[in-house]
């Protein structure tokens, strides 16, 4: 395991924020994991597990060891009458994996096309898009406890998946290194195509995984800024989940306030709508701002810092709170201490 000192993180986070990590390494195999465990025993410094950096905001330089997970490989481990089980290493690119499953004739993950990042990070917030979540096709994962080297197996129930939530967030990030994830892909897929935009693109066509994936890619490219062109981390805030009374009180004054039932008592609303209606879309302060394409996406117009981006986020939280009494919760992980 090679360790570099004082490495820039600019090319390791999709915001393109130019923070530095005191130490940097890459984890390619089991031996690297063992050396990482030894390094952790020897030093008191924290470790940051890094995937594609598409859900991180570096507010400060990182004072520990950033370890980029580069474990690679995938295999079909089993098939039964209902599903095919595919195990994939944590460092594989998520979107490439999705397209590979489709090319091999396996359906299930098509709605999750073009989500940036790695397979290993996907369970952390239970990635979701267009009516499908990782949890829908998740079977199990393997993780290494970085405190004692134990190799652990988690089934779906143990992962406690929720909307942008999992056991791993609650347990404490950087304590468990997810090394591989196994998916259960159904032999008889149920297409999820009634999401606004997807249906229109598939009109008159017999759906299949490739067509749906292509439609989702097109839709995402039309809605979201490309991080290769303009730095961003996708949605900066979670969509708030309100109880029905709260939602109805706001809806009474704002008839076009969006709401989708989550349970008998809860409604998921649109953070983008809340932010947009407070006038933030296209806002710019220096090189930090809000995308002109989508009100929920904070962007780096060039050379902004994590501090400046966070300051815009705080202004947005304040204004939405003042107007609607709703406190927006950030989605990306903010690294500000250490
Ligand atoms: P990173 O940002 O590197 O890390 C995220 C978290 O996971 C960190 O806490 C990190 O420590 C931890 N982590 C990373 N790898 C491991 C590992 N192997 N073991 C343990 N912990 C680990 N998300 C959605 O859910 N739906 C979307 O539709 C969506 N669209 C997006 C669109 C854009 C343009 C962008 C930039 C982001 C979008 N995201 C979306 C957010 C992001 O892509 C996901 O959260 C993704 O899973 C992050 O993967 P990553 O490898 O980049 O993780
Ligand atoms: N809207 C506005 N203004 C905008 C953009 C959107 O008012 O500038 C309103 C529109 O009315 C629109 C609604 O917000 O109908 C919802 O917008 P969109 O369909 O783009 O979805 P979203 O709720 O903003 C969520 C996820 C995305 C995921 C999409 C598709 C969260 C926080 N975000 O976005 O995930 O790709 O749905 O399913 O749940 C991410 O997590 O990083 C991410 C991009």
* Distance, CA of 184 to CA of 267 (rounded, Å): 29
Q: Is 218 helix (H, G, I), strand (E, B) or coil?
A: helix
Active-site amino acid positions:
164, 235, 331
| Averaged pLDDT, 305-321 | 98
Residues 185, 82: Cα–Cα separation, whole Å: 8
Integer Cα distance of 39 and 146 in angstroms: 11
**Percent above pLDDT 90 for the chain:** 97
DSSP-assigned beta bridge partners for residue 50: 68
| Residues 11-18, mean pLDDT to the nearest whole number | 98
Buried b (16+ CB within 10 A) or exposed e, 117-138: bbbbbbbbbbbbbbebbbbbbb
d(CA 249, CA 271): 17
Q: Which residue has the tokens 């009100």?
A: 295
Residue 204 buriedness (CB in 10 A; 0-12 / 13-18 / 19+): exposed
pLDDT of residue 338 exceeding 70, the answer is no
CA distance 34 to 40: 10
pLDDT at 88: 98
Tens digit of each residue's pLDDT (9 = 90 or more) over 113-130: 999 999 999 999 999 999
- Reply yes or no on whether the pLDDT at 101 is more than 70: yes
CA 96 vs CA 26, 73, 282, 283, 332: distances in Å: 20, 12, 31, 33, 22
- Among 13, 36, 47, 117, say which to mutate for ligand 1: greatest number of ligand atoms within 8 Å of CB: 117
Q: Could you give phi then psi for residue 49, rounded to 5 degrees?
A: -85, 125
pLDDT for res 272: 98
Confidence grade of residue 44 (pLDDT, cut at 50, 70, 90):
confident
Looking at residue 336, its pLDDT comes to: 87
Minimal CA–CA distance to 68: which of 49, 81, 55?
Answer: 49
The answer, yes or no, to whether residue 337 has pLDDT greater than 80, is: no
146-201 residue pLDDT tens: 999 999 999 999 999 999 999 999 999 999 999 999 999 999 999 999 988 999 99
- How long a stretch of residues is the chain? 338
| Predicted TM-score (pTM) of this structure | 0.98
Is 231 in contact with 299 (CB distance < 8 Å)? yes
Ligand 2 centroid to residue 329 C-alpha, Å: 15
In the predicted model, what is the mean pLDDT of residues 93-103? 98
Chain segment 223-251, per-residue pLDDT in tens: 999 999 999 999 999 999 999 999 999 99
**In order of start, what are the domains of the chain with their CATH numbers?**
4-69 (3.30.43.10), 74-219 (3.30.465.10), 225-335 (3.90.78.10)
Nearest of 62, 161, 51 to residue 117 by alpha carbon? 51
Q: Cα(254) to centroid of ligand 1, in Å? A: 33
Could you tell me the pLDDT band of residue 313, with boundaries at 50, 70 and 90? very high
Residue pLDDT, tens place only, 103-113:
999 999 999 99
Does residue 216 register a pLDDT over 60? yes
Cβ < 6 A, ligand 1 pocket = 14, 48-56, 69, 90, 115-118, 120-122, 124-125, 127-129, 173-174, 177-178, 224, 227, 232-234, 333
Q: What is the mean pLDDT of residues 266-283?
A: 97
Q: Given this model, what pLDDT does residue 182 score? A: 98
């Amino acid at each position: 395991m090679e360790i570099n000192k004082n490495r820039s993180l600019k090319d390791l986070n999709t915001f393109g924020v130019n923070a530095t990590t005191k130490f940097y390494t890459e984890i390619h195999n089991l031996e690297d994991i063992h050396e990482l465990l030894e390094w952790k025993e020897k030093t008191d410094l924290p470790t940051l597990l890094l995937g594609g950096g598409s859900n991180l905001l570096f507010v400060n330089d990182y004072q520990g060891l950033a370890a980029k997970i580069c474990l690679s490989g995938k295999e079909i481990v089993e098939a039964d009458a209902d599903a095919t089980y595919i195990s994939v290493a944590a460092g594989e690119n998520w979107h490439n994996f999705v397209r590979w499953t489709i090319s091999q004739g396996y359906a299930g993950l098509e709605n999750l096309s073009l989500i940036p990042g790695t397979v290993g990070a996907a369970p952390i917030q239970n990635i979701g898009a267009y009516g499908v979540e990782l949890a829908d096709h998740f079977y199990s994962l393997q993780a290494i406890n970085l405190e004692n080297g134990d190799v652990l197996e988690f089934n779906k129930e143990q992962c406690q998946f929720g909307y942008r939530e999992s056991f791993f967030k609650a347990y404490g990030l950087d304590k468990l290194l997810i090394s591989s994830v196994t998916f259960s892909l159904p032999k008889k897929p149920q297409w999820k195509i009634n999401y606004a935009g997807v249906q229109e693109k598939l009109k008159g066509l017999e759906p299949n995984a490739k067509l749906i994936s292509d439609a989702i890619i097109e839709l995402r490219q039309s809605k979201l800024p490309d991080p290769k062109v303009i730095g961003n981390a996708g949605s900066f805030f979670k969509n708030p989940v309100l109880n029905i009374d709260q939602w109805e009180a706001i809806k009474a004054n704002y008839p076009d306030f969006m709401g989708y039932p989550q349970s008998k008592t809860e409604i998921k609303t649109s953070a983008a709508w809340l932010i947009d209606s407070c006038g933030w879309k296209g806002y710019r302060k220096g090189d930090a701002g809000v995308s002109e394409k989508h009100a929920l996406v904070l962007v780096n117009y060039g050379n902004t810092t994590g501090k400046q981006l966070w300051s815009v986020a705080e202004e947005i939280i304040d204004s939405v709170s003042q107007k609607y009494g709703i406190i927006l919760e950030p989605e990306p992980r903010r690294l500000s201490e250490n």
